[in-house]
Amino acid sequence: MNRNYRVLELDKILELLADETSCDDAAALARELEPSADLWETQRRMADTSAAYMLMARFGSPSFSQIKNVTGALRRADMGASLSMRELLDIAETLRIIRSLHDWHKNCLGADTCLDDRFNALSPNKYLEEKIRAAIISEEEMSDSASPVLNDIRRKMRAASSRVREKLDKMIRSPEYQKSLQDPIVTIRGGRFVVPVKSEHRGEVPGLIHDTSSSGATVFVEPMAVVEANNELRVLLSKEQTEIERILAALSAEAGSFAVSIIEDYKILVELNFIFAKARLAYKMKASVPVLTDDRHILLRKARHPLLDQNKAVPIDVE
C-alpha cells in the first residue's frame, strides 16, 4: 500500500471494512481497495455504496451468511471429478444464499438502484440446491432416500446387523459363556461384531480373534455362529460404499453442468457483499455522501478522522 495511505491509516479503516464482509474473497477486495483519481470511477463506487445504504435503511440488510468459494470444486466437477459430501453441501449452501439474495431484492418494491443489474443477473437454481440437500444429510452421512438402491442396501444391512446382534445377545446372556466373557457386551472390531473374551478362556469361545486389549487380558472374538452373517454385512457395506460413490459422482456431474452460471453468481455475491459491507461501515461511522467534483477544490465541513472516538473528537472544517 502507498506510504501516504498508511500515514492516513487507510489500512486500518480497510481492515474495519474487511470485518464487515462475510467471506474471504470480499474481505480481500476490501483490503485491496485504494482511492481512485478518476471522477467517474469514484462516483460509480459512491453510487453503489449509497444504493446499498438506502436499501438497508428501507428493507433491512440482506443476509450473505458465511459464503464459501466453491469455484475450485465446481471446475473440478465440470472436468469430471467426483466431489466430497462437504464440497457438495457447500455448493448447495451457495445456491441457497444466491436464491435468498435474489428473493430479498424482489421484495425491495419501488426501489430502483444502480445495483439492480447485479441482483437481476443472479440465477437461482433451487432444483440443484434441493437435490443435493435431499441426498446429503451432513459431510459424513448420506440419506437413505438418496437412491432406491441405497435405501434397499441399508434395509438389508439393518436386517443383517439385527440378526448378528440377536445371536450375540443370546450368547452373552447364556450361563454357558458367563465366566468366559470379560464383559457381557457386543462391540465392533474391524467392521465385524465381536464379544470380549478373557484371554485365559479364549479356547472356550470358538471363533476368530480380531483384536487384543492393550493389557492382553481381553481378546475380541467373532464367534463362529455369526461369521457368515458378518460376511454378509461386510458385502453389504461394500455395496453401500459403491452406491454412495455412484451418487456422489452423479451429483458432481450435475453440479459441473451448472458450473459456469454458479461461478458467475458467486462473483456477483462477492461484489455485493463488498458493497453492502461499505454501506454497513458507513452507517457505523455516521458517514455522509460527499459531493464529488473535478475542479480540485476541497471543502470539508465538520470533518473528523473515522478512527477517532466520535464522542471525543472535535470536528473541523477544511477548505
For residue 121, give the CATH number of its domain.
Answer: 1.10.1420
* CA atoms of 110 and 113, how far apart (whole Å): 10
Among 245, 278, 307, where does a domain finish?
245
- Over residues 223-253, the pLDDT tens digits come to 787 787 888 888 999 999 999 999 999 999 9
**Residues 262 and 95: beta-carbon distance below 8 Å:** yes
* CA atoms of 104 and 90, how far apart (whole Å): 21
* CA atoms of 271 and 26, how far apart (whole Å): 7
The one-character DSSP state at 109 is T
Residue with cell 474471504: 24
* CA atoms of 240 and 107, how far apart (whole Å): 45
Q: Which of 142, 144, 147, 168 is nearest to 158 (CA)?
A: 144
Q: Which of 39, 1, 49, 38 is nearest to 271 (CA)?
A: 49
Phi (first) and psi of residue 300, to 5 degrees: -115, 130
Cα dist. 42→47, 52, 112, 234 in Å?
A: 9, 16, 20, 66
Which residues, given as ranges, of the chain have pLDDT below 50? none
Domain assignment present for residue 96? The answer is yes
Same domain, 234 and 289: no
Domain assignment present for residue 277? The answer is yes
* CA atoms of 262 and 96, how far apart (whole Å): 11
Classified as helix, coil or strand, 124 is coil
Residue 255's pLDDT is 97
**Residues 304 and 316: beta-carbon distance below 8 Å:** yes
Residue 161's pLDDT is 85
* CA atoms of 227 and 192, how far apart (whole Å): 9
Q: Which residues, listed in sequence order, are joined to residue 280 by a DSSP beta bridge?
A: none
Same domain, 119 and 193: no
- Over residues 3-59, the pLDDT tens digits come to 777 877 888 999 999 999 999 999 999 999 988 888 899 999 999 999 999 999 999
* CA atoms of 38 and 70, how far apart (whole Å): 34
**Residues 101 and 270: beta-carbon distance below 8 Å:** no
Q: Provide the residue range defining the domain that includes 74.
A: 3-125+258-294
Among 204, 222, 245, where does a domain finish?
245
Same domain, 82 and 41: yes
Classified as helix, coil or strand, 180 is coil
Residue 154's pLDDT is 95
Residue 317's pLDDT is 80
Cα dist. 191→139, 161, 184 in Å?
A: 21, 11, 19
Among 179, 210, 245, where does a domain finish?
245
Amino acid at 137: I
**Residues 230 and 163: beta-carbon distance below 8 Å:** no
Amino acid at 124: P
Domain assignment present for residue 15? The answer is yes
Same domain, 121 and 262: yes
Same domain, 270 and 239: no
Question: Considering the chain, what is the average pLDDT of its residues?
Answer: 89
* CA atoms of 116 and 262, how far apart (whole Å): 19
Same domain, 210 and 175: yes
* CA atoms of 221 and 197, how far apart (whole Å): 7
